[in-house]
Amino acid sequence: MKSIALIGAGFSGLGMAYALKKEILEFDHYEKNPALGGNWRYGVYETVHIISSKKTTSFQEYPMPSSYPDFPSSGQMLAYLESYADTFHLKENIQFDSDIIDISPHGERWILTFSGGEKKIYEFVIIANGHHWDPKYPDIKGSFDGEIIHSKDYKNPEILKNKRVLVIGGGNSALDIAVEAARFSISSHISMKSGRWIIPKSIFGIPSIEFLQPWIPDPLLRQLVQNLVLLEIGSFEKYGLQNPDYTVLDKHPTINSLFLYYLQHGRIVPHKNIESVRGNTFTFVDGSQYEADLLVCGTGFHMSFPMLQSLDLRYSSRGIPELINGLFPRKYKNLILFGGVGQPRYGAGPVISAAAGLVAKLLPIQKEIQLSLGELFFRMGQNPLESEVIDPFTTMRRAEALGKMTGFLPFLDQVLRMPFLEGLYKHRENDIMKKFNLPAPQKNYPETNRKANSAFTNSYK
Contact positions vs ligand FAD (CB under 6 A): 7-13, 30-33, 38-40, 43-44, 48, 50-52, 57, 98-100, 128-130, 132-133, 172-173, 307, 339, 347-348
Q: Residues with Cβ < 8 Å from 29, sequence gap 6 or more? A: 6, 9, 13, 17, 90, 93, 94, 95
Q: Which helix (H) or strand (E) holds 393?
A: helix 392-404
Quote the CA–CA distance of 428 and 306 in Å, as a whole number: 29
- Which of residues 10 and 326 has its CB atom nearest to ligand FAD in the complex? 10
Q: Which is nearer to ligand FAD, 154 or 456 (CB)?
A: 154
Cβ-based nearer residue to ligand FAD, 313 or 416: 313
Shortest separation between residue 290's beta carbon and ligand FAD, angstroms: 25
Q: Are 176 and 44 contacting, i.e. CB atoms less than 8 angstroms apart?
A: no
Report which of 146, 142, 174, 143 is spatially closest to residue 162, judged by C-alpha positions: 146
R_g of the chain computed on alpha carbons: 23
CB closer to ligand FAD out of 130 and 329: 130
Q: How far is the CB of 160 from ligand FAD (least distance, A)?
A: 16
Burial classification of residue 1, based on how many CB atoms lie within 10 Å of its CB (0-12 exposed, 13-18 middle, 19 or more buried): exposed
Q: Closer CB to ligand FAD, residue 40 or residue 378?
A: 40
Closest CB 449 distance from ligand FAD, rounded Å: 19
Residue 53 CB, shortest distance to ligand FAD, in Å, is 9
Query: From CA 213, how far away is CA 209, in angstroms rounded?
Result: 9
| 221/224 Cα distance (integer angstroms) | 5
Nearer to ligand FAD, 322 or 388 (CB): 388
Smallest gap, in angstroms, from Cβ of residue 437 to ligand FAD?
Answer: 26
Question: For residues 175 and 432, which CB has a smaller minimum distance to ligand FAD in the complex?
Answer: 175
Residue 114 CA, chain-centre distance (Å), reads 25
Query: Where on the phi/psi map is residue 8: left (φ > 0), alpha (ψ -120 to 50), or beta?
Result: left
Residue 395, CA atoms < 13 Å, CB-side half-sphere: 30
> Cβ of residue 15: shortest distance to ligand FAD, in angstroms?
8
We find the least distance from the C-beta atom of residue 346 to ligand FAD, in angstroms, to be 7
